[in-house]
Structure formats: C-alpha cells, structure tokens
Amino acid sequence: MSSTVEHSVKVGRAFAVEFKDIERWDPASYHAIRWNWPLSEMIRIGDLLTARKDRVDRKQWSFDKLQPVTVHNDGRISKRKLVEGRSYTMDLWFARPGDLLVAKIDLKNGAIAIVPEEWENVAVTNHFVPFQIDHKRVVPEYLHRVFQMGVFRDLLWRNKVGAEGRKEVKLEFFLDQCVPLPPLATQRSIVAHWQAGMQQAAALEAKAKELVEEAQAGFERTLGINAPQESDQRKAFAIDFMAIDRWGVRATLTHALKGAQGHDDFPIERLGNVIVGLENGWSPKCYDRPANGTEWGVLKLGAVSFGRFNDAENKALPKAFVPKENLEVRAGDVLIIRGNVLRLVGAFAYVDATRPKLMLPDLIFRVKFKRERLLDPQFLVALMHCADLRQQIESAATGTSPTMKKVTVGSILNLEFPLPPIDRQRELLKPMTAALSQSTKLKDQAETKRKETKEEVEGMVMGTSKV
C-alpha cells in the first residue's frame, strides 16, 4: 500500500516552445491577441487583401495631375500639398478609391488607412502598399477598425524588427495575422455603432463651438466691433508718410482704418496706454521630456492657444541651468504667442491655474498690467480674439517663412480697441464666461462619448461584448 503526499510548491512561470517555431528570441513577441471567437470565424488578413501593382506611367502622367498622400498613425489619410516645380523622382504607384493603404515604415505605429471614394489619382512611392479589399467577405470600415484597436496596434509595435532607428513590422507578419470575420451583417452593425458614437461626439463639439461663437458675436456687437468686410469694388486711400509704420499694403491699410470701429459710448484706446508693457522669457536648450513635479521647466509654444493655457506643454530645464524665478508663470498672467504660423501668432491666453516652476520662453510675451487696473485680464483675452483685432495682429506680423511669423512689442502695444470702464468690462465677460463653461462641459461629454464608443466597439470586435 502506498500513499501520495501533495506538496504546495511556489514555482516561477515558464513556457516551452519548439525550435522550429521560434522566429524571434524576445519573450514579448509571444504575447498574442486572445480573440473570443471560434476558429471558424477567424481569417488570415492576407486572405482578404490583394496587393495592387498599378505603376504610374510618368510619360502619360505629369506630377501635377497626381495626388500624393500621407497616412497618419491614427488611421487618418490626408492630401500632401504639391510644391510648384517639384516632383518625386521615385517610381510611383496608383492607390485607387477604397484601397487599404499601408505605410510600411510606420506600420509599427498603426499607419493604415482607406483611400476615400471621392479621391482621384492618388499616387504613392514604394514606401506604401495599396491593397484591394475583398468586399464580398469583409466591410472595409470594419477591417479598418480592427487595425486601429489598441491591442492590434500593440501587437504590431511589439513585433517590429531591424536595426535601432530603422525598426519596421514586416509586411508578411502583418498579412499572416488572423482576425475575426463575423457575418457581413454583424460587421456592418459594428461599423454603424462606431459611426453613431463618433457622430454624437461631433455634434456635441459643434454645439460647444456654436455657443462660444454666439457669445463672441454678442460681445463684439456690444462693443460695436464689426467683422472686417471684404469688397469687390476697387478702392483707393491716401495716408501721410509720417503715419506709415511698414510698407506692406495690408499693414498700411489697417493703420488707415484703425480706430474707425467701436461703440459711441466706449472710447478707442491703444493697448500701450493701459498696460505697463510686455516681457518675454528665456529659451535654453532643455530636455525633450516635460518637467516632473519638482523640476523647473520652460513652456513650449503649444502651451498657448486661443484663450487656452496648457501647463503640460513644457520641457524640463537641465540641472546645469539656474532657473530665473522672475520668469515663473503664475495664475492671472496673460500670455501672447510672439512667433508661430500666421493663424496662431499673437494668440492671447489667460492663465487660470498652473503648476509651479514653469518659466516663460523667448517666443511668448507676458502682459505687465498697471497697478491701477484699467483693463481686466480676461476681458483683454476675449477682446484680442475679435475679428477686427486679429486683422490688426496678422497685418503687423513679419517674416518670410510661412511656418514662422512674428509680432513685435511695438505692434502689440499699438493695437487699438474700444475700452469700457473696468466694471462694464466684467459685466460684458459674464455671458462669455458662461458660454465657455458650458462649452467645456460639452467637449468633455464628447471626449467621454468617444472613449465609451471605442471601448464598446473593441469589445464587439474582440468578441467579449454583444453586437
């Protein structure tokens, strides 16, 4: 008679794999997606796609008749702007409407898109691969949603190979992956659920934008500021040489018209007369990462946009540099973009709150207010986003580069606008503040709806949620 004694032993996890099945040595590559579908409902991606090999005959097609594109990591596709007189020297291939387009270099990041049906003459280099989709078996938008799922993008990222700095996902690996292929009706239901969620989110954002635009329009009407009007009639004007600041036609015209708009009850004032001045900061070479809670950092240009301040947009200051505490950004500051593309240069933002130890950079101004407040900081920000003031700012911008226009201290100080008494300024701000608050709530709801829809659709595709 024998007995068996069971022992409880804690051991580390292990797995076994045969040498013939090994393609790579790193354990991360063995982490596959666990789909909750029977094998009968799974299919190899390559069985749904056929590579299109439609070379562009450069003798028949001039480059200006073709449409190069960019495939983004989030699955979007956009048209590239053609530079007159320039063309691609590499061989080109057509990607037809409805094709799945894979960017080979960025496949590891999820750069997979579908060519829109209305786009014509899309041409790509051999860095891209266009695929025809088997429409009899799969709905293209469903397949695209599979590829944009977080688990699928993670799978691609884990399986990139090659030398450091040139790592790619092999196209063969991508095509060999198996994904769920439910009936066409189920695929369409999943796509419809996605589209409905995105449309609801877009509607919320549109309402948020409409609220702010209506409040802005009311603000401008009360001040007597009208949007600049374009005219088809030929006009002429004369201006004294002594009044010319710059030789540009737009700048001179703006100068000639300055002060012409405004409510009769509110005098036209020059910004330089009601503030102390402007200061800009310091831009040492910083780390590429943001500053942590204890480090000093320097703001990036992205910290300031129209009416919005984002303190997460910063770079950490190396410890070799001594921070300039006088440049620290504080709640209540008004910041102005000194240099950026034309549509963003001169954007004003009010700092409602900020983390400590963030400094002003060289390309951002800070407004220095007078002790006796003649101008409410938030009123100033709202005012500077009016169409008339934007025209003054853009007309004063200098620089030949389309990616970097600048405004000077003088051009900002010379801005002119109607100035009500300080108490009236704060009254005028109330509808704007209420609209901005409601707009923020709607945008938050839109973001929540997008997140919920993404999670719901991924559950449907994974097979863990009902369609």
Are 436 and 308 spatial neighbours (Cβ–Cβ below 8 Å)? no
Residue 441 inside a domain? The answer is no
Residue 435 lies in a domain: no
Q: Is residue 337 part of a domain?
A: yes
Q: Which of 128, 76, 122, 126 is nearest to 103 (CA)?
A: 128
- What tokens appear for 244 in the block? 């010319």
Specify if 332 maps to a domain.
yes
CB distance 144 to 101 below 8 Å = no
Burial of 272 (0-12, 13-18, 19+ CB in 10 A): middle
Asked whether residue 185 is assigned to any structural domain, the reply reads no
Q: What pLDDT is stored for residue 111 in this prediction?
A: 96
316 in Cβ contact with 283 (< 8 Å): no
- Looking only at the bridges linking them, the beta strands covering 405-406 and 364-369 are unpaired
- Same domain, yes or no: 255 and 366: yes
Q: Could you read off the pLDDT tens digit of each residue along the chain, which spans 467 residues? A: 444 444 444 555 655 666 555 555 555 555 789 999 999 999 999 999 999 999 999 999 999 899 999 999 999 999 998 777 788 888 999 999 999 999 999 999 999 999 999 999 999 999 999 999 999 999 999 999 999 999 999 999 999 998 877 889 999 999 999 999 999 999 999 999 999 999 999 999 999 999 999 999 999 999 988 655 554 444 444 545 444 444 443 444 344 344 445 556 789 999 999 999 999 999 999 999 999 989 999 999 999 988 789 999 999 999 999 999 999 999 999 999 999 999 999 999 999 999 999 999 999 999 999 988 899 999 999 999 898 999 999 999 999 888 899 999 999 999 999 999 999 999 999 999 999 899 999 999 999 999 999 999 999 999 998 88
Pair (247, 393) in one structural domain:
yes
For residues 309 and 241, state if they share a domain.
yes
Q: Does residue 425 lie in a domain region?
A: no
| 104 lies in the same domain as 245 | no
155, 42: one domain: yes
pLDDT of residue 164: 76
Task: Indicate if 245 and 377 belong to the same structural domain.
Answer: yes
Domain count, the chain: 2
| Same domain membership, residue 250 and residue 164 | no
Q: What is the pLDDT of residue 105?
A: 93
Give the pLDDT confidence score for residue 25 in this predicted structure.
52
DSSP strand pairing (178-180 vs 42-44): antiparallel
**Count of CA atoms in the C-beta half-sphere (13 A) of 167:** 10
Instruction: Write out the two tokens for 410.
Output: 């003088």
Separation CA 359–CA 361 (nearest Å): 6
Based on the domain organization, do 316 and 169 belong to the same domain? Answer: no
Token pair of 252 as six digits? 């001179």
The residue type found at 134 is: D
252 and 151 inside one domain: no
Say yes or no: 331 and 414 in one domain: yes
Same domain for 261 and 115: no
Tokens describing residue 341: 């593309």
Contact 446, 208 (CB under 8 A): yes
Residue 98 lies in a domain: yes
Residue whose structure tokens are 């002060």: 259
Q: Supply the range of the domain harboring residue 86.
A: 24-180
**What's the predicted TM-score (pTM) here?**
0.74
CA 184 to the chain's CA centroid: 34
Distance between CA atoms of 375 and 185, rounded to whole angstroms?
A: 61
- How many other C-beta atoms are found inside a 10 Å radius of the C-beta of residue 108? 21
CB burial class (10 A; 0-12, 13-18, 19+) of residue 232?
Answer: exposed
3-state secondary structure the chain: CCCCCCCCCCCCCCCCCCHHHCCCCCHHHHCCCCCCCCHHHEEEHHHCEEECCCECCCCCCCHHHCECEEECCCCCEEECCCCCCCCCCCCCEECCCCCEEEECCCHHHCCEEECCCCCCCEEECCCEEEEEECCCCCCHHHHHHHHHCHHHHHHHHHCCECCCCCCECCHHHHHHCEEECCCHHHHHHHHHHHHHHHHHHHHHHHHHHHHHHHHHHHHHHHHCCCCCCCCCCCCCCCCCHHHCCCCCHHHHHHHHHCCCCCCCCCCEEEHHHHEEEEEECCCCCCCCCCCCCCCCEEECHHHEECCEECCCCEEECCCCCCCCHHHECCCCCEEEECEECCCCCCCEEECCCCCCCEECCCCEEEEEECCCCCCCHHHHHHHCCCHHHHHHHHHHCECCCCCCEECCHHHHHCCEEECCCHHHHHHHHHHHHHHHHHHHHHHHHHHHHHHHHHHHHHHHHHCCCCC
Kindly report the CATH number assigned to the domain that includes residue 135. Answer: 3.90.220.20
Looking at the fold, whether 56 and 120 belong to one and the same domain comes out as: yes
CA distance 246 to 86: 33
pLDDT for position 318: 95
Residue 440 maps to a domain: no
